[in-house]
Structure 1
């Protein structure tokens, strides 16, 4: 979708924490951001388009929704004395203090879904088996309230599922996180899968230049629904880095169809799942299940438990199942995770970070209680380990 209206700008609510009075938004398209940036004479090299509003006390908003904003009002807020240009973040470009003059900033919510290149992609779906043997293990990286997972084959990382970091990560923190992996990724050339376009699932990718992406990844797989300017810029950068046939836009299933469906051949040890089209980015993402003869693991992104459970039902052989817990242990629908009687419970890994906001803690406590009383998982919280968590998928 391209905005051709000169009166309004469409903005996307990236994160809304009413208990902390925090609001983070992005522009839906890069064109609007570039116009604003030129008007205020911002650094022409600046890429970060997200705006953090501090002490927000305005109308209640819906996270992941698009709102219409007066173009003149948007220009006005970028000229506020409290507006700060942020230089130490790859994600956040600007920040300002909320004031009453902005009480009518967000007008009507827009029921739109935007796609890369303004249309549904016609690139081929991923349908063939991957040239890999049984997975030997997986890693859940210690990146705070975020998601960055790796799958190893013959002890070499060949799949990276999400590459995120927490909201307030500095550029230096992001650079350090990737520096730890640069040599390994350059040697192994893993495929990169983005589960959905939520900042804590792709934040670290913002710090990578085209040359680094070309050096470190062989394939890029992502949901075709690109909701904001930041996700569109990432895809642009990937397209300038990798061959066209190495980039896979994954279409959602129709709303009236199945809830989840693999796009890989049934006998493949790697199963990539697409989900139904939904205005919730969490419910319309990509999930990953990796199997070995000894164990399996479901990488859930921020999907709900009912979706994970549908994937679990396909695992009908004697083995141990592991779960990277959905939504960092936060809200993910009614808890339902019932394996076939031949499946044993293994580890349930949660990437919680040090989040202090109350409503998340309440959901996390409920999730841990459900995992303890309704399953036999061993719960591992990455934050408590103070390091990346490694789980074996082979006996030897």
Structure 2
């Protein structure tokens, strides 16, 4: 029988920036409120640490272990409480920036800043604490499939996609800004669309809870969310205090009956995507349970009169293929197809770097000279061949608009 322990301060490693061999900038958030409270109680200088911007930026962390984003670690409280920091005034989610440059290279696990932890109770992370409406309660009007436009916004190394019917925004898929965007940058991205969103009040669907897909929800307050959106659909895989707080803010703003928090499908092969709801020419798919939140996210498939579009978030390309293949089996009439490349064109291993035809156009939402090397050389080469070089990139083309 597994025992669970509550005396460790567990943090979620959201993303990493490699600085040198064994040296990283690490961005962590607290797993739950109880972990945040443990951190606050561990030292008197943490007493003024707020409960809004709860991420810690750990600069130039030295390690002898392989750190992996998307994983949990025990925060070494005795060590971090002796590292100098500044209050971060430029970010919407980072509370403190720690300078770990003088920290010696650890020789043992006890000297690591991010350590291994005791077994965790995964049930603690399930966020459905109210009666989530059933799919049949999603009373939305299907798109007309006439005069539809895909808009992939240029939001740098992040994701914000839209479907417009005429000049009316009907769906927004992800609402991100790059991870290291400053407050003014996030503000500018959202404010550019605020009045149109207030006019149209579209449905907001987020693929998963990575910051580059939800960053603008950190900026928007409850009244703004209420003014700009009428329904919200998300996956119930929230790994940190910040994602829980954002979800609760949206739920309070829109009300329980307008918030659909979906559990991932039970795992079979990790590749199959499962239809959650089809409304007219819009299909919403969910991934299977996975330790990687990218792979268990939400995707949507939209059928226009000219072209179909696959909105893929950060799933693997082979998962996106599974969606397209399912739609083809449902007698998809449209002969032209647009793929929004998963994960900003990030690499997939060869057996997962496959997709279906016909694919006439590919769009990559990606930031110029990003630290991740997106799009990867192998993936870009494959995608170019897939669409006969009809490929658009937001870092080169800016906003991409395609009539579908």
Correspondences of 1:115-134 after superposition (within 5 Å): 122-127=131-136, 128=138, 130-134=140-144
Is residue 2:25 matched to residue 1:22?
yes
| Cα distance between partner residues in 2 of 1:219 and 1:66 | 31
CA drift of 1:321 comes to 0.6
Aligned to 1:88: 90
Is residue 2:325 matched to residue 1:319?
no
Pair 41,26 (structure 1): closer, same or farther in 2 beyond 3 Å: closer
Aligned to 1:337: 355
CA drift of 1:182 comes to 0.8
Aligned to 2:194: 182
CA contact (8 A) 1:140 1:148 kept: yes
CA contact (8 A) 1:261 1:275 kept: yes
Q: What residue ranges of structure 1 are gaps of 5+ in the alignment? A: none
Aligned residues: 379
**Range with bigger deviation, 58-67 or 330-339:** 330-339
* RMSD of aligned Cα (Å): 2.5
CA drift of 1:355 comes to 3.6
CA drift of 1:370 comes to 0.5
2:58 to 49, 53, 59: 53
Correspondences of 1:382-393 after superposition (within 5 Å): 382-385=394-397, 387-393=398-404
Pair 355,47 (structure 1): closer, same or farther in 2 beyond 3 Å: farther
> CA deviation digits over 1:195-228, x for unaligned, max 9?
0111111111101111111111111111111101
Aligned to 1:368: 380
Pair 78,296 (structure 1): closer, same or farther in 2 beyond 3 Å: farther
| Cα distance between partner residues in 2 of 1:354 and 1:199 | 18
| Cα distance between partner residues in 1 of 2:208 and 2:323 | 18
TM-score (norm 1): 0.88
Pair 13,226 (structure 1): closer, same or farther in 2 beyond 3 Å: same
TM-score (norm 2): 0.86
CA drift of 1:293 comes to 2.0
2:300 to 285, 288, 304: 288
| Cα distance between partner residues in 2 of 1:194 and 1:11 | 23
**Range with bigger deviation, 101-110 or 130-139:** 101-110
Is residue 2:68 matched to residue 1:62?
yes
| Cα distance between partner residues in 2 of 1:192 and 1:78 | 40
